[in-house]
Amino acid sequence: MTDVLILGAGLAGLAAARDLAAAGGRVQVLDKSRGVAGRAATKRFGALRLDHGARFFTARQPRTLALVKEGLEAGWLSEWTRQLPTWQAGQISTPEGGHPRYVGRSGMSEIGKALAAGLDVQTGTQITRLEHGESGWRLTSADGRIFEGRTLLLNAPAPQLSVLLAGLPNAPDTAALDAVTLRPCWAVGVALEADLEADWPALNVKAHPALEWIAREHTKRPGPPALMLHARAAWSEQHLEDPPEQVQAKLIAAAREIAGDFGVSASFAHRWRYATPDQRFSAACGWLPELRLGWCGDWCQSDEHGPRLEAALLSGWALAQQV
């Protein structure tokens, strides 16, 4: 029996785990994936490391600024750019001023790995059953392992949490969770035969039917030339069940409309079914003290700047404070 079980090793869950462990709690983090960091994800693709989830990390609040300082000094974080031009109707414009966008030195997943250092994290663990009793929580994995803890914290998309909690004999009211909506995103990574004739690190794409983001990934860290393409939420919804090969072809064609022709040596597509919160949870986190049950994520209203990596961290820290 541990003090706190955390289901989900995204940045919010890891932020909560780090605080609770630092306060002396016995904390165990479980995740069904092979690695940590959730949507702060990096895909190894041949010689490439492509950020197919979160694009970069910005910091405004004191705790996240302190984390940035820690990451820069330790070497797992680096500043990428302060300028992100916008493409619209064939024209590229660069706003005046700007603020730092940070990336993991070897990929965005480095942020999660840094937060997880020293924690008890069990990856490859798919939880299929939750039970709550007088002594706390009992979780059963797909391979029959049992995990027990007095407190359970959930770091996963709200629709998945509603399904998990609905299976409890005395299920809590999930109306607030049910109101949260998240929209999908198709991401396509492209290994280029040669770099584009461009000087921008990435483009925020406006008023295009398919794309909202194009990044020259090799400007983040040394490596062969590559692009990362992110589709708009509406386009992703329309093509949610399309075969990956069709998605790659369509988004690469869209990128050529914007960036000009380029040669492709290899590509992949990844579907994020729950990517961007459309309707967020009304608080920084959820906490039901009578059940010792809580939840956190970037889909919680942890700051006013929207669902970014900083919002995930702030949500996790807020939940740890509640516990």
Q: Both tokens of residue 38?
A: 């959730």
Dihedral in degrees, nearest 10, Cα atoms 59, 273, 283, 10: -50
Statement: residue 299 has pLDDT above 80: yes
3-state secondary structure 262-312: CCEEEEEEEEEEEEEEEECECCCCEEECCCCEEECCCCECCCCCCCCHHHH
CATH class of the domain whose range is 2-322 = alpha beta
pLDDT in tens, 168-221: 887 888 899 999 999 999 999 999 999 999 999 999 999 999 999 999 999 999
pLDDT value at residue 166: 84
Six token digits for residue 200 = 């921008």
Q: Per residue in 97-134, pLDDT tens?
A: 889 999 999 999 999 999 999 999 999 999 999 999 99
The residue extents of the domains of the chain are: 2-322
Q: Is the whole-model pTM more than 0.75?
A: yes
The overall average pLDDT reported for the chain is: 96
| pLDDT tens sequence across 223-282 | 999 999 999 999 999 999 999 999 999 999 999 999 999 999 999 999 999 999 999 999
CA atoms within 13 A on the CB side of 320: 24
